[in-house]
Homo-oligomer: A and B are copies of this chain.
């Protein structure tokens, strides 16, 4: 039977606020057992000491567990939670809940929003940021594509991947076994991890050639990239989790997805292009924001500001630009774009109601 993806954007009064989720569960607007993913923004600082993501996951998982009649651990295993901390400028805390159900409807022409999920095996510390990491994401992306019922990579518009980075504990473990790591610096492992995952997506979608990708290319040969990958790394993860969004002729429903590339932080035309690519009224926007020392020939102070982290500056600006086009400040904007578009550019995907 055809796949039907539901898209439910929920406002959040705090990272612990599940009122809109509960209301939609109670009204029947959301069937709890159909929920497969939650992507949202929380109002933390987006840094290492941002615990709003953990709080939101805990609260959403509890509500879903109760509604599904499952244990919290079962929900956390079955539902992908992707939170980005930091609602700078006009950005509004929210969650977009994705449901996936089989449906009786006859697919219309032109394709509808499809969503596939896949998980990699556990990574060893010495795999992180290396070709093993790339390959695991490549394979998971291929499985997620099949899961979404999408055959042509051109129909893929947004691949959200999250996976592990090096932590002090993992570094110590590798040290004890004499295993060499890509870096000894936990924070410094983020670009390698994000980059490896983006290259994995790029390989799966044919955006780069396998012969060009090796350990030395990761986080260095930035001319190799995916235009639809959006990757993040977190110390709490041991596997890579892939959420692949595209349009499938086998899917039904009222949504389509499109994408474009933000040439820089103030590229309003790319926002419009992504909306146009989706072909309807925008419902949810997913973008990356990247800080830059100069912008169209002018110096910015993002990178030299010791008071506000540069990712916060970047999200505030990009969020304002996108909201000025869509009129809705509940946007998913996150940072870190290694191998995700060319340096300075960033991906943007739009889900629209058609």
Q: Chain A interface (Cβ within 8 Å of chain B)?
A: 11, 13-16, 43-52, 54-55, 58-59, 87-94, 265-268, 295-296, 298-302, 304-309, 312-314, 316-321, 323-325, 327-330
Quick one: closest B residue to A46, CB to CB? B306
The residues of B that contact A90 with a CB separation of less than 8 Å are 265-266, 295, 300, 302, 313, 317
- Provide a sorted-by-A list of 8 A–B residue pairs whose CB atoms are within 8 angstroms: A11-B299, A49-B304, A55-B58, A90-B265, A92-B299, A266-B320, A316-B317, A321-B321
Residue among A267, A302, A306, A329 with the highest chain B CB neighbour number at 10 A: A306
Q: Which residue of B lies closest to A296 (CB)?
A: B327
A92 to chain B, nearest CB (A): 4
Cα of A90 to Cα of B299 in the assembled complex, Å: 8
Which residues from B are CB-within-8-Å of A52? 51
By beta carbon, the residue of chain B nearest A58 is B58
Q: Are B312 and A308 in contact (CB under 8 A)?
A: yes
By a CB distance below 8 angstroms, the chain B residues around A267 are: 324
A44 cross-chain contacts in B, Cβ below 8 A: 51
Could you say how many copies of this chain the assembly holds?
4
Question: Nearest-CB distance from A140 to chain B (Å)?
Answer: 27
Q: In the docked arrangement, what's the CA distance between A268 and B325, Å?
A: 8
A89 to B308, alpha carbons, bound, how many Å?
10
How far apart are the CA atoms of A88 and B313 in the complex, in Å?
6
What B residues does A308 contact at CB under 8 A? 88, 308, 312
Return the contact of A301 from the options B93, B300, B309 (Cβ within 8 A).
B93
CA distance A324 to B317 in the complex (A): 9
**A16, A51, A90, A308, most chain B CB atoms within 10 A:** A90
Cβ of A88: which chain B residues have Cβ within 8 Å of it? 308, 313, 316
- Other-chain residue from B54, B300, B301, B316 in contact with A16 (beta carbon distance below 8 A): B54
Which B residues touch A301, using CB under 8 A? 43, 49, 87, 91-93
Find the residue from A11, A46, A268 having the highest chain B CB count within 10 A. Answer: A268
Q: List residues of chain B with CB within 8 A of the CB of A16.
A: 51, 54, 58
User: Which of B13, B45, B93 is A306 in contact with, Cβ under 8 Å?
Assistant: B45
